[in-house]
Amino acid sequence: MKKLPALFSLLASIGLWYACVQHPQNKKMTLRSDLKVSNHGVNIAYTDTGKGDTTLLFVHGWCINKSYFNNQVKHFSKKYRVVTMDLGGYGQSGKNRNSWTTNDFAGDVTAVINTLKLKNVILVGHSMAGEIIVQTKLDAPHQVIGLVGIDNFKGFDGKPESAKAKADYAKAIAELKMHFKAVTTAYFNQDLFYKTTDTAIRKRVLKDVANADSAIAIASMEDNGFNTVAKLKAIKTKLHLINSDYTPNDTIGFIKAGIPYQLLQIHATGHFPMVEKPTEFNRLLQQAINQI
């Protein structure tokens, strides 16, 4: 499965893809940026707030960062322990490694889980992090009790990738290498924002993408060997999806492959429902948590 929806018609098959602590006096959440754990020498930045028997661990998508879950931190830390993190190479995390595969990113998530001794973890992964949280479930099966995807696995058909799709994907990667900013700007504007997406949100996303390390971002896309069907079957865990309906959500592949899932849809948002409609997103996430 590709890590984001199709780039645009020219590149038809590509998919792109603080610490909050309770102040002892006024109990307001204070952001910190100095909390990090190490994954084989790479510092992974995270936030950790709230208390509870269940931990919600949020994992961001391609070229963005943990701050996109600030609303969820504020809302859910009243009932749960809430952790957000920057994947290696993104946000405030380190860039000192040479490999940026799904397994590497899952290692970042597992390092946070193990270092913080998290239990009863529900992983919430946006966009390309859908595959990352699936791999993390395989890597930390006892700590992870549930998976929630955000606007991912939308075109899952359960079939092997065709030769044409592979060729189109390679072509798109080549385009990214030559014209990273132009290609990503066109892609996000055309395919990831909805007509109602707020201008401020558009600017925020495009700024983060433009400021991303393009070499790491492209390398994140080049790992196209994730066997989605086999991995989803191996986790033996129901996949909860909170997806926007600005593009179709095809669930036939899950049914044919016998993979349990729940689809919770948000109307009239783009690819970033957690910031575009946080109140509705939080309500749907609570539904998924209740089922888990």
Query: What does the domain layout of the chain look like in residue ranges?
Result: 9-291
Name the phi and psi angles at 99, rounded to 5: -125, 135
**Given a cut of 60, is residue 59 above it in pLDDT?**
yes
Question: Residue 101, exposed/middle/buried by CB under 10 A (0-12, 13-18, 19+)?
Answer: middle
Assess whether pLDDT exceeds 80 at residue 46.
yes
For residue 33, what are the contacts with CB-CB under 8 A and spacing of at least 6? 18, 19, 45, 92
Quick one: pLDDT band at residue 23, thresholds 50, 70, 90? very low
DSSP-based three-state secondary structure for 8: coil
112 token code pair? 């946070």
Q: What are phi and psi of 211, to 5 degrees?
A: -90, 0
Q: Tell how strand 19-22 and strand 29-32 pair up.
A: antiparallel
Q: What is the pLDDT of residue 206?
A: 97
Q: What is the pLDDT of residue 33?
A: 52
What band does 20 get if pLDDT is binned at 50, 70 and 90?
Answer: very low
* Percent of the chain with pLDDT strictly greater than 90: 76
Instruction: State the Cα–Cα distance between residues 263 and 149, nearest whole angstrom.
Output: 10
Query: Kind of pairing, strands 239-244 and 261-266?
Result: parallel
Instruction: Return all residues near 183 (Cβ < 8 A) that are at least 6 apart.
Output: 7, 11, 175, 176
What distance in Å separates the CA atoms of residue 18 and residue 30, rounded to the nearest whole number?
Answer: 8
Tell me what percent of the residues of the chain surpass a pLDDT of 70: 88
The tokens of 14 are what?
Answer: 């590509």
Q: What is the DSSP letter of 19?
A: E
Q: What is the DSSP letter of 5?
A: S
| Bridge partners for 220 per DSSP | none
Model confidence, pTM: 0.89
Question: What superfamily would CATH give domain 9-291?
Answer: Alpha/Beta hydrolase fold, catalytic domain (3.40.50.1820)
Tens-digit pLDDT profile for residues 110-131: 999 999 999 999 999 999 999 9
- Amino acid identity of 147? L
Handedness of CA 245, 278, 263, 13 (dihedral sign): positive
Report the alpha-carbon distance of residue 85 to residue 108 in Å, rounded.
9
